Amino acid sequence: MRQITKFVPALYIVLLMMPIYWLINMSFKTTNEILGTFSLWPNEITFDNYIKIFTDPVWYTGYFNSLSYVTLNMVISVSVALPAAYAFSRYRFLGDKHLFFWLLTNRMAPPAVFALPFFQLYSAVSLFDTPIAVALAHCLFNIPLAVWILEGFMSGIPKELDETAYVDGYSFPRFFVRIFIPTIAAGIGVAMFFCFMFSWVELLLAKTLTSVAAKPIAATMTRTASSSGYELGLLAAAGTLTIIPGAFVIYFVRNYIAKGFALGRV
């Protein structure tokens, strides 16, 4: 029995990798081969799809746009969430519990509900079609999440740490930057990971708030899929490339993920 259960995770991973493998497989095939024959691996490997993406500005600027709003969002969300999470974990104040739940409700708002009003709001403040608009819009669900995670981490740190620092003559800002932030570094890492994740994968708002200049890569894909018919190879190559930043980020936070889930509360 133990021998069998050992293979369950391996089997699960193999099943998880199958659609991804199929996407990568398609990305190295020519359109003719995709539509004409059925094969488990490319018979004649072509890099044309990738070359097209790296040389055509329509494609590669999409990557820069996506990465720039994701980074911006990550920085904004975590930096405003830090003091707020500290307040929630250390102090009791008027309406704190209600405020916390109100923040969480924004994580529950279906983006489809907000798509149209968001478009009008960001057009009104003339931020439409900029990475800032998408970064700010994604704060709707990422700030509550970051506050939630960081509050979990901070509550795990005894209050004596704060008190000792004050006794030692630290002022609050110095204590916060020099002692507190390094202590919860793992929590900040986990919070940033989740902000990256939800901003990177979201498309409905990102697509609604951009048209040409700040169009995310994922939107470029949908438009190609509909305009030029059946360029599956190109689509598969672009899809494969969107997996890479995520895989890269997971690799760096791999040791914190499990810990982060346990301490924090995602």
Partner 1 sequence: MDKKTTNQKAWLFVLPVIILVAFNAIIPLMTVVNYSVQETFGDNVFFWEGVKWFEAVLNSDRFHASLGRQLLFTSIILAIEVPLGVAIALTMPKKGVWVSVCLVFMAMPLLIPWNVVGAMWNIFALPDIGLLGRSINALGIDYNFTSQPIAAWFTTVLMDVWHWTSLVVLLAYAGLTSIPDAYYQAAKIDGAGPWAVFRYIQLPKMKRVLTIAILLRFMDSFMIYTEPFVLTGGGPGNATTFLSIDLVKIALGQFDLGPAAAMSLVYFLIVLLVSWLFYTLMMKDEAQ
Please state, in angstroms and as integers, the Cα–Cα distance from residue 164 to each residue in 50, 89, 167, 168, 176, following that order.
57, 17, 5, 6, 13
Considering only residues 127 to 166 of the shown chain, the ones binding partner 1 according to CB under 8 A are 136-137, 139-140, 143-144, 147, 159
Give the whole-angstrom CA distance, residue 257 versus residue 93.
31
Among 103, 127, 188, 195, binds partner 1 (CB under 8 A): 103
- The reply to whether 186 sits near partner 1 by the rule CB under 8 A is no
Give the whole-angstrom CA distance, residue 7 versus residue 15.
12
Among 106, 129, 157, 170, binds partner 1 (CB under 8 A): 106
Among 111, 170, 186, 231, binds partner 1 (CB under 8 A): 111
Among 67, 99, 132, 157, binds partner 1 (CB under 8 A): 99
Among 13, 45, 167, 212, binds partner 1 (CB under 8 A): 13
Dihedral (C-alpha) 71, 77, 82, 86: value to the nearest 10 degrees? -160
Nearest distance from residue 169's CB to partner 1, in Å?
20
Total site size for partner 1, rule CB under 8 A? 94
Considering only residues 18 to 47 of the shown chain, the ones binding partner 1 according to CB under 8 A are 18-20, 22-23, 26, 34-35, 38, 40
Give the whole-angstrom CA distance, residue 233 versus residue 55.
16
| Span from 43-51, 54-62, 180-188, 237-245 in contact with partner 1 (CB under 8 A) | 237-245
Nearest distance from residue 239's CB to partner 1, in Å?
4
Sorted by sequence, the CB contacts under 8 Å of residue 259 that are 6+ apart come out as: 186, 190
Contact 115, 208 (CB under 8 A): yes
| Span from 3-11, 42-50, 54-62, 178-186 in contact with partner 1 (CB under 8 A) | 3-11
Nearest distance from residue 51's CB to partner 1, in Å?
20
Amino acid making up residue 19 = P
Give the whole-angstrom CA distance, residue 177 versus residue 223.
45
- The reply to whether 232 sits near partner 1 by the rule CB under 8 A is yes
Contact 200, 253 (CB under 8 A): no
